[in-house]
Amino acid sequence: MSVQETVLVVDDEKVIREGCSRILSPEGFRVLTAVNGQVALEVLDSEATNVILCDLKMPVMGALEVLEEVGQRYPDIPVIIITGHGTVESAVDCMKKGAYDFITKPFRADHVVLVVKRALEKQALERRTRQLQEERARNLYDLATEQSRIRTIVNCMADGVLVTNRDFEVVLFNPALMRLLELKPPSAQAAVLSDLLGDKVLVEALQTLLAKPGNETELISQELQRGRTHLRALSALIYGPDREVLGTITVLHDITSFKELDEMKSNFVHQVSHELRTPLSAIKQQHSVILDGLAGELTAKQRELLTRGQDRIQGLLDMINDLLDVARIESGHGVQQQVVLNLADILRETVALLESKAEERGLSLELELPPELPMVQADARSMEEVFTNLISNGINYTPDGGTVTVSAIPHGEYLEFRVSDSGVGIAPEEIPKIFDKFYRVKHPETRQVIGTGLGLSIVKGIIEAHRGSVEVESKPGVGTTFRVLLPTISGGKLIDYGQE
């Protein structure tokens, strides 16, 4: 025994008190004695006691009264009754009143020790059970507090929150969600998501996520529109402690005002670009007249200055045209004239047009085409723009003497175009930004390249409007490959890759 346990022996017979003491002390117990119930209660008041051995009948306060008092004041101290032969029935009464056990006189030493030890074990077990119960109650309380806190936070959020389980039953939502999606709170306890939303886009995104659990940080971001309200929906899977999928969460953010501002900005840029293009074209026209000698002879110096000015004006016009393209694509009017096309012709023309530019720089520009290309449904002018931008980039960002290779490879239901160069490459951290409007990588070797940083954003806009995708792979110092995937036409139908 690590801590000495105390046994209180209550008996009016001295021989019993001393007998018990002799039996229990060598077993490591501290033994206290009392001559009757009253004295016993006084001892209990001052001494921490673990077990009571109590004679059934005593002149002053017998075992029944002791049991009652102990039961009230020290409920977790087990009481063992000592009885004579003829009084077993009374001892059983005592058991009913809460005594732990009884021993009959005359008793054997090992029996007393056994009963006391069992009482102590029971006491320890009861104590442990009580502790666990208290702990459980505390944990439940903490959990309830936490739940209530989270619920309050979620309810106060301006963003809509929607949580489902794996069976797409809605398990949590907040008032903002109801307001943003103009929904009525579901009447059923566990409403099915598709019934609640009636919005396929969101449900499909969640199904996609659930079908292919990826890493815990995987998010699907998409824009939804409800009337005039534009929403950004971010969805993710919820994982349990063992990485099992528990369900989904979606947070909806109202981006209507941002969209309106964006539209205002686009309109503004569009108008200003338009206003600038006309006078600039006129200036360029007049310069050309002068340069052509129609307004009199020019000196070499005048010609040089005018030519330089002419180049600058052309640069400005290119930028304005790019800005107008961006605005057109963003408004969705850019790629409306989609017809069945063989892109091989457009590729050949574009490469031919850019050949001289490549030659000037001592670059080899190669086109690799298979004998036949599947047809695509696309806007010819937009496609020309895509190839021009990608090939120009290849030429611009490849040091003199390098190679730019353009190729087309059919891949069953889609067509892949590649523009590869042996150029300066793009650092991995720059790759996510190069498709942003006006973004240009600062690279010492390409500082002289003139550009506005709009080319790739135009490419991306056009390709996405054709339900295709653009990817880039690059190794700094080695080269870059842009891959464009476009759906092909099969049996006169446009293959729908968005739904794959």
Ligand X SMILES: Nc1ncnc2c1ncn2[C@@H]1O[C@H](COP(=O)(O)OP(=O)(O)OP(=O)(O)O)[C@@H](O)[C@H]1O
Residues that bind Mg ion (CB under 5 A): 393, 455
Q: Which of 60, 110, 63, 117 is nearest to 87 (CA)?
A: 63
Residue 379 interacting with ligand X (CB under 6 A): no
Helix (H, G, I), strand (E, B) or coil at 173: strand
Q: Is 87 in the site for ligand X (CB under 6 A)?
A: no
- Please, which residue, 79 or 424, has the CB nearer to ligand X? 424
The distance of closest approach from Cβ of residue 472 to ligand X in the complex, given in angstroms and rounded to an integer, is: 8
Cα 218 versus chain centre, distance: 6
Of the listed pieces 42-50, 167-175, 372-380, 452-460, which binds ligand X according to CB under 6 A?
Answer: 452-460
Does position 402 interact with ligand X (CB under 6 A)? The reply is: no
Does residue 54 touch ligand X according to CB under 6 A? no
Of 35 and 441, CB closest to Mg ion: 441
440 contributes a contact to ligand X by CB under 6 A: yes
Helix (H) or strand (E) run with residue 443 in it: none
471-477: long-range contacts at Cβ-Cβ below 8 A with a sequence spacing of 24 or more?
472/426, 472/431, 472/434, 474/425, 474/426, 474/428, 474/431, 475/425, 476/424, 476/425, 476/426, 476/427, 477/424, 477/425
Nearer Cβ to ligand X, position 228 or 447? 447
The answer to whether 32 and 43 have CB atoms below 8 angstroms apart is yes
Q: Which does 487 bind (CB under 5 to 8 A by kind): Mg ion, ligand X, none?
A: none
Taking contact as CB under 6 A, which single stretch among the options 171-179, 205-213, 236-244, 447-455 is the one that binds ligand X? 447-455
Q: From the list Mg ion, ligand X, none, pick the one residue 322 interacts with, judged by a Cβ distance below 5 to 8 Å according to partner type.
A: ligand X
Q: How far is the CB of 382 from Mg ion (least distance, A)?
A: 16
Task: Cite the DSSP H helix spans in 331-438.
Answer: 343-360, 380-396
The binder of 186, among Mg ion, ligand X, none, by C-beta within 5 to 8 A per type, is none
Rounded CA separation 28/161 (Å): 64
Q: Rule CB under 6 A: choose which of 5, 254, 385, 421 binds ligand X.
A: 421
405: partner contacted, choices Mg ion, ligand X, none (Cβ within 5-8 A by kind): none
Please identify, among the stretches 66-74, 102-110, 424-432, 489-497, the one whose residues bind ligand X according to the rule CB under 6 A: 424-432
Encoded amino acid at 89, one letter = E
* Count of beta carbons in the 10 Å neighbourhood of residue 66: 27
203 binds, among ligand X, Mg ion, none (CB under 5 to 8 A by kind): none
Q: Which is nearer to ligand X, 425 or 461 (CB)?
A: 425
Q: What is the DSSP letter of 169?
A: B
Burial class (CB in 10 A: 0-12, 13-18, 19+), 184: exposed
Q: Residue 434 binds which entry of ligand X, Mg ion, none, with Cβ cut-offs from 5 to 8 Å by kind? A: ligand X
Give the integer Cα–Cα distance in Å for 203 and 171.
15
By the rule CB under 6 A, 461 interacts with ligand X: no
**CB proximity list for 32: less than 8 A, separation 6 or greater:** 6, 7, 8, 9, 43, 47, 49
Of the candidate residues 298, 369, 441, 494, the single one contacting ligand X (CB under 6 A):
441
Cβ(116)–Cβ(49) under 8 Å? Answer: no
Within residues 313-372, the interface with ligand X by CB under 6 A covers 322
Residues of span 476-495 touching ligand X by CB under 6 A: 480
- DSSP-derived pairing of the beta strands 414-421 and 403-411: antiparallel
- Per-residue DSSP letters for 86-135? GGHHHHHHHHHTT--EEEESS--HHHHHHHHHHHHHHHHHHHHHHHHHHH
The reply on whether position 456 binds ligand X by CB under 6 A is yes
Least distance in angstroms from the C-beta of 430 to ligand X:
7
Q: Which of 496, 470, 487, 355 is nearest to 410 (CA)?
A: 487
Which range in 165-173, 197-205, 275-283, 448-456 contacts ligand X by CB under 6 A?
448-456
Question: Which residues are near ligand X by CB under 6 A?
Answer: 322, 389, 393-394, 397, 421, 423-426, 434, 439-441, 451-457, 480
